[in-house]
Amino acid sequence: MTSNAIRGIRRKKSSLSEVKVAVVGAPGVGKSALTVRFLTRRYIGEYDHQAETRYKHEVLVDGEPVLFEILDTCPKGEDELPSNETLNWADGCLLVYAITDRRSFNYIRRAKQILSDMPLVLVGNKGDMVHLRQVSTEEGEILAKDYECWFQEVAAAEQVQQVGEVFHELCREVLNARRKNKQSLLDRMLGNKATTVRTYARGKSDSSLPKD
């Protein structure tokens, strides 16, 4: 392999962003169906797993390579909220409820109370089951406005592109938040430096002033 090729691979690897996503929601809302849809483009109707599952998946988001780490959480019941370990691990959360299940919408409100200030996307799944709807689209929109996050109703059972977009949007939010944090850190550092320079300059000019 030529040295140019090696440099190319190194550059590509270093530009790969890693984004850790926790998929959070009450039992049975379709967390696994959404995750598997995004990972494989397939719909798995019955996904029997008893424990949380972690996946890695590399995709292009807006033309940039991103390595997703996705934690498909698996609460044992409606009272089990995501653990601190999960929340500390995640860069962002996909909050999933089913439009056919009012209690799963209430689960999201309870889960949100323990979330730190992190990028979120709110998803109302099972959008194909409108005849069994218990949560209106407006309620989803109002909650998302309250959380200042992106919201979409989807159907893991029927949609591929829309489900992918939900994950992509969360990725954009995470990368934006990361950029903002970096920028504010940089501003703070530059701000401190500027203060130092100013102090030094004044000191110098003060000492060069003729004394009365």
Q: Is 112 in the site for ligand GTP (CB under 6 A)?
A: no
Residue with tokens 């992106």, as numbered in its chain: 150
- Is 46 a binding residue for ligand GTP by CB under 6 A? The answer is yes
**125 touches 99 (CB < 8 A):** yes
Q: How far is Cα 153 from Cα 162, in angstroms, rounded to an integer?
A: 9
CB nearer to ligand GTP: give 155 or 174: 155
In the bound complex, what is the minimum distance in angstroms from residue 134's beta carbon to ligand GTP? 14
Q: Please give the torsion angle defined by the CA atoms of residues 150, 153, 155 and 160, in that order, rounded to the nearest 10 degrees.
A: -40
Among positions 20, 27, 137, 178, the unique one binding ligand GTP when judged by CB under 6 A: 27
156 binding ligand GTP? (CB under 6 A): yes
- Measured between alpha carbons, how far is 44 from 37 in angstroms, rounded to an integer? 8
Looking at the Cβ atoms of 128 and 165, the one nearer to ligand GTP is 128
- Residue 45 beta carbon to ligand GTP: minimum distance, rounded to whole angstroms: 4
Kindly state whether residue 144 participates in binding ligand GTP, applying the rule CB under 6 A: no
Among 21, 24, 32, 99, binds ligand GTP (CB under 6 A): 32
What does residue 115 show for φ and ψ, rounded to 5 degrees?
Answer: -85, 140
Does residue 28 bind ligand GTP (CB under 6 A)? yes
Q: Are 147 and 105 in contact (CB under 8 A)?
A: no
Least distance between ligand GTP and beta carbon 49 (Å): 6
Instruction: Output the six-digit token pair for 40.
Output: 């494989």
* Number of residues forming the site for ligand GTP (CB under 6 A): 20
DSSP 144: H
